[in-house]
Structure 1
Amino acid sequence: MINALESSSTRPYLIRALYEWCTDNGFTPYVAVQVDDTVQVPREYVKNGEIVLNISFDATSSLKLGNDFIEFKARFAGTAREIVVPVGRVIAIYARENGQGMAFPLPVPAQGGDDGTASATPQARTPLRDASRGSEGDAGKIVHLVSGEEPDETVGSGENGPPDEPPRPPAGGGSRPSLKRVK
């Protein structure tokens, strides 16, 4: 019998389930990603170490929601880009229209090579340690994203094409979604 520490992370399964829920209900699925050297995204759209990506069918091409990586092609300011996000770097997935979704514990820093860097190429396929399996008291808890306001526009193309500039982080703490812990 496999115990909880030997089992695989639930994060990729929850991401796929919420992606399917969003698409089945006509919502636009967005993922918030904490960016480091293992994440392959256009760096000019990264704000405060995070990026929000539209992963809807209309905004992506060749989307693969794997157990280790989320991979797809998307247009940013009219230029096609390859996106590779380790699943462990996803900090939330939610519906743009109503903010419903799920937030995950923050990922732990990736282990890099001898020089302290980590590879961002999909060929490296170095799985990241899932913070939800950590030893801290709250690390295994599930949290839900709760928002009373319309989420900001995000990066990626959609029905109206790519935005002219990247999304701006919310000013102050008033418009930022809050997390509700479910025990």
Structure 2
Amino acid sequence: MSEQEIALSPTRPYLARAIYEWICDNQLTPYLLVDATQANTHVPVQYVKDGQIVLNIAPHAVHQFQMSNDAITFSARFGGVSQNIYVPLAAAMGVYAKENGEGLFFDPTEYDGIDTATHETIATPEAKAEPEKKRPSLRILD
């Protein structure tokens, strides 16, 4: 199998878990920036602004928090009403600390060409052609 044929899983879930843990270990408040327009994203729409929502995912603010390779799920109170939240990792735009803004914002094209339901690469005419090599990119906030 050539290097082009090997489909690697996205790095986003691994980086999100690492940054979340780092923020919590430093007694800061982890915030999750979400693209609420992505398919299968379940967030309280009344708090969505410009297609995005920022969620406090601190351990004391959420219940049954789970961050898998596919999605971030938890329940939290919004306006005193408990709601179940489901954020596919493709909709997670970044994880950062409320207090100083440090964290990671993810490459918005990382999930392009990936069927998030099956994690299979979608064959498109462009994908069949010689794919251009993308350099990894991370954005660190100061």
TM-score range, shorter chain: 0.7 to 0.9
Which residue does 2:30 correspond to in 1?
29
Give me the whole-angstrom Cα distance separating, in 1, the residues matched to 2:33 and 2:120.
18
1:140 partnered with 2:136: yes
Matching residue's letter, 1:92: G
Instruction: Describe the SS at the equivalent of 1:97.
Output: coil
Give me the whole-angstrom Cα distance separating, in 2, the residues matched to 1:45 and 1:109.
26
Which residue does 1:119 correspond to in 2?
none
Matching residue's letter, 1:44: Q
Show structure 2 runs of 5+ residues with no match: 122-126
C-alpha displacement of 1:143:
1.4
Which piece of structure 1 moves more, 73-82 or 103-112? 103-112
**Equivalent pair of 1:74/1:82 in contact (CA under 8 Å):** yes
Instruction: Describe the SS at the equivalent of 1:15.
Output: helix
Runs (4+) of structure 1 exceeding 4 A deviation are 1-5, 107-112, 127-130, 134-139
Which residue does 1:126 correspond to in 2?
117
C-alpha displacement of 1:3:
4.6
The verdict on how the C-alpha distance between 1:66 and 1:48 changes in structure 2, with shifts beyond 3 A counting, is same
Matching residue's letter, 1:15: A
The verdict on how the C-alpha distance between 1:75 and 1:92 changes in structure 2, with shifts beyond 3 A counting, is same
**Equivalent pair of 1:88/1:128 in contact (CA under 8 Å):** no
Matching residue's letter, 1:126: A
| Higher helix residue share | 2
Which residue does 1:20 correspond to in 2?
21
| Higher strand residue share | 2
The verdict on how the C-alpha distance between 1:76 and 1:48 changes in structure 2, with shifts beyond 3 A counting, is same
- Residues paired across the two proteins, number: 131
1:68 to 45, 67, 70: 70
**Aligned pairs (5 A) from 1:3-18:** 3=3, 5-18=6-19
**Equivalent pair of 1:86/1:127 in contact (CA under 8 Å):** no
- Report Cα offsets for 1:56-109 as digits up to 9, x if no partner: 101100000000000000000000000000011111110111110011122567
The verdict on how the C-alpha distance between 1:74 and 1:2 changes in structure 2, with shifts beyond 3 A counting, is farther
TM-score, structure 1 as length reference: 0.62
Instruction: Describe the SS at the equivalent of 1:16.
Output: helix
1:106 partnered with 2:108: yes
In angstroms, what is the RMSD of aligned CA positions? 3.0
Give me the whole-angstrom Cα distance separating, in 2, the residues matched to 1:83 and 1:18.
20
Give me the whole-angstrom Cα distance separating, in 1, the residues matched to 2:65 and 2:2.
31
Show structure 1 runs of 5+ residues with no match: 113-124, 147-183
Give me the whole-angstrom Cα distance separating, in 2, the residues matched to 1:2 and 1:54.
42
